[in-house]
Amino acid sequence: MHPFFYTFATTFGGFTLFILTKMKQRLYLFFKTYLLLLLLMVVQKPLFMAYHHDLYTDVSWMDWLRVIWHGLVIDRSLAAYFTVIPGFLLVLSAWSSAKWLHRVWRGYHVLISMLIGLILIVDMALYSYWGFRLDTTPLFYFFSSPKDALASVENWMVIVFPLLFVAVALSCYLLQYYFLCSERQLAKLRLPYQRLRVSGVLLLLTGLLFIPIRGGVTVSTMNTGKAYFSANNRLNHAAVNPAFSLMESLAKQNNFAEQYRFMKDEEANNLFLQLADTTQVEPLALVDTIAASDSLRRLFRMERPDIYIVIMESFSSHLMKSLGGEADVAVCLDRLADEGVLFTHFFANSFRTDRGLVSILSGYPAQPTTSLMKYPRKTQSLPSIARSLQEVGYATQYYYGGDADFTNMRSYLVSGGYETIISDQDFPIGDRLSKWGVHDHLLFRRVINDLQQAIPSDQSGRGKAAEQQPKLTVIQTSSSHEPFEVPYERLNNPRLNAFAYSDSCIGHFIDELRKLPLWKKSVVLLFTDQLGCYPELIDNFSVNRYQIPLLMVGGAVKEPRRIAVYGSQQDIAATLLAQLGLDHSAFRFSKDLLHPAAPHFAFFTMPDGFGMVTPDNALIFDCQSDRVVVDEGSLPGRNLSLGKAYLQILYDDIAQR
């Protein structure tokens, strides 16, 4: 045998023999730790699918196996993350046999067990409501207002889920204790003679964990999209590890300039120019002379009407007969649709209230993976409907029956120019009976009472609305939200009954406003804060889910109309300001829905995805799996590059604020 090969063989053999004899127990413990943590990651998938069995009734047992197999790539990564610290502790064990090291070892596994249990239970509970795996959204909600964050939780969950958490965490730890943490296991870790070699091998193995952590040695790094394998998104969601989803979301919170880089900057800017509203606001006198058939004509009778914006919690087009939905739910809205201006192709911009509010009140599109309300420094630089109206003499006020500090809302509203903010603390304790604060009928009653008190009276004692300062009043409802507990009983389905209740409150508010002399100078805009909660099992990646009503009524509205242009919530700002003859150029992402020269499209986002809808193409793109989920219409694929450019420019804009 050649001397080189002989030397290599004897050295390698000796090294292998050394590994097997001198550090066998540490190697066993290292690999047992990784494999046991991997097992704990894997079993979460069938548990998740079993809990949400109603969502997986139409899948085969092979689909269950595919979920486990395709999710394994993320599970391997997370198990490797969790094994890094045990790897270093095993290195330390080669140099010390102190009892504190054993306590740290056990304490770490207690912590891992609690994390696994907490993340698993919270994720399973929230998926029923949100339809996406765990990210930083609940953390933001909880730390801004724990009471409101838990308001969606049903009473039985308060008892059952803590017990489930204890059961899962205890089971995880008992399993780890038996195989990894018992005195019998740790007593085998005697101090070795050749500590440097033992330490070197263990450090090498710990370093090699970087490969599964990264997801391999290819160019692409680990991300949740690697688990996606099916056209059925619910199967993809089941394959995603919730702990990794949360960790990935935390890592993406601030690097806006690096996210959603679909194309070169120049190409994105050129495509965005096709989507930007560059029209100029026409003088109101000129608009009045335009032919009735032109969509640019004014909707309002006067230049400075009082504006009431009613933001309806979770409503959708599916609840209105006039928009092709249920016939016996939003009966008041259907009645108002016959006397007002109804937009028939209008879309929610987001899937959560805090993101929808920024879209509505600042004309700024929502983001797929974060909420801009988290960043007061950035939201204070956004344009605002309230500030634009203040500049021409409007008083501004905001009514909300819940906690105005939830999700940094108060900071956003104050910097947005709202002079008066009425929230739950401004109501008697006896009125705060809802989990979300004040029920809708009490909220609207407060608005009407304040309006009545603000009306000056003439000598005859009759109300007089003349020559008052114009007002912008925003009213945000909350009762049509989980857990759908309302003081109203008309429909058997609790969810539909809650929507019917809020609808009745809105109808009563309009009827009471109609009795006031203010009615003649009033414009009431009614629309939703976010995508609807009905139908209950509708997919987040469904175009129909995002269709919502936009309705304008009031004594200052000229006449009933149906308008079929495509738009979404961020377009309300430019459309309203244009109707008042005010410049809207500061609202970069908002467009005038009634200007024929403006681009007409709807844009919306869901967790790590976006949708763009025009008359010739309805498209939804899943950024996690990097694939088109929905592509319908006469020009398939037309909106893909446009939507990507729009999202890329949006994140560029956020990074610069």
**Helix/strand number for the chain, H first, E second:** 24, 12
More confident residue, 94 or 308: 308
pLDDT for the residue 140:
60
Whether residue 233 is found in the same domain as residue 327: no
Exposed e or buried b per residue across 310-323, where buried means at least 16 C-beta atoms within 10 angstroms of its C-beta: bbbbbbbbbbbebb
Whether residue 355 is found in the same domain as residue 419: yes
Whether residue 181 is found in the same domain as residue 306: no
In a domain, 291, yes or no: no
Q: Among candidates 378, 363, 375, 367, which has minimal Cα distance to 309? A: 363
Whether residue 313 is found in the same domain as residue 231: no
Q: Model confidence over 33-84: pLDDT tens digits?
A: 999 999 999 999 999 999 888 888 888 989 999 999 989 989 999 999 999 9
pLDDT for the residue 124:
86
Q: Say whether pLDDT at 442 is over 50.
A: yes
Q: Whole-angstrom Cα distance, residue 470 to residue 582? A: 15
Q: Say whether pLDDT at 263 is over 90.
A: yes
Q: Model confidence over 515-533: pLDDT tens digits?
A: 999 999 999 999 998 877 7
In a domain, 341, yes or no: yes
Over residues 437-448, the mean pLDDT reads 95
Whether residue 406 is found in the same domain as residue 549: yes
Over residues 118-128, the mean pLDDT reads 85
Tell me the sheet residues that pair with 523.
Answer: 307
What secondary structure letter does DSSP report for 182?
S
Whether residue 345 is found in the same domain as residue 210: no
The pTM score is: 0.75
In a domain, 648, yes or no: no
Q: Say whether pLDDT at 135 is over 80.
A: no
In a domain, 636, yes or no: no
pLDDT for the residue 145:
55
Whether residue 422 is found in the same domain as residue 564: yes
Do 549 and 342 touch, CB atoms closer than 8 A?
yes
Per-residue HEC secondary structure of 151-178 comes to CCCCHHHHHHHHHHHHHHHHHHHHHHHH
Q: Whole-angstrom Cα distance, residue 290 to residue 137? A: 47
pLDDT for the residue 11:
47
Whether residue 314 is found in the same domain as residue 233: no
Whether residue 204 is found in the same domain as residue 311: no
Q: Whole-angstrom Cα distance, residue 353 to residue 539? A: 18
Q: Model confidence over 264-305: pLDDT tens digits?
A: 999 999 999 999 988 876 655 544 444 344 444 789 999 999
Which domain range does residue 347 map to? Answer: 296-454+463-600
> Domain containing 575 — which CATH number?
3.40.720.10
- Domain-terminating residue out of 578, 600, 622: 600
**In sequence order, what are the residues at sequence separation of 6 or more whose Cβ sits closer than 8 angstroms to the Cβ of residue 70?**
227, 228, 229, 239
Q: Model confidence over 582-620: pLDDT tens digits?
A: 999 999 999 999 998 899 999 999 888 999 999 999 999
Containing 315, the helix (H) or strand (E) segment is none
Q: Among candidates 316, 345, 347, which has minimal Cα distance to 330? A: 316
Whether residue 65 is found in the same domain as residue 123: yes
pLDDT band per the 50, 70, 90 thresholds, residue 192: low
Q: What are phi and psi of 609, to 5 degrees?
A: -165, 170
Q: Model confidence over 446-491: pLDDT tens digits?
A: 999 999 998 876 533 444 444 579 999 999 999 988 888 899 999 9
- Domain-terminating residue out of 552, 582, 600: 600
Q: Whole-angstrom Cα distance, residue 279 to residue 593? A: 11
What is the phi-psi region of residue 610: left when phi exceeds 0, alpha when psi lies from -120 to 50, beta otherwise? beta
pLDDT for the residue 531:
79
pLDDT for the residue 22:
53
Whether residue 322 is found in the same domain as residue 206: no
- Domain-terminating residue out of 251, 279, 311: 251
Residue owning tokens 């993406």: 252
pLDDT for the residue 562:
95
Long-range contacts of 426-431 (CB under 8 A, 24+ apart): 427/401
Please state, rounded to an integer, the average pLDDT across all residues of the chain.
85
Q: Is 113 exposed, middle or buried (0-12, 13-18, 19+ CB in 10 A)?
A: buried
Over residues 440-445, the mean pLDDT reads 96
Tokens of 253: 């919170």
Tell me the sheet residues that pair with 307.
Answer: 472, 523
In a domain, 606, yes or no: no
pLDDT band per the 50, 70, 90 thresholds, residue 197: confident
Q: Say whether pLDDT at 535 is over 90.
A: no
Whether residue 436 is found in the same domain as residue 571: yes
In a domain, 258, yes or no: no
In a domain, 523, yes or no: yes
**In sequence order, what are the residues at sequence separation of 6 or more whose Cβ sits closer than 8 angstroms to the Cβ of residue 343?**
549, 550, 551, 563, 564, 565, 567, 593
Range with the largest mean pLDDT of 93-107, 129-143, 146-160, 488-502 = 488-502
Total domains in the fold of the chain: 2
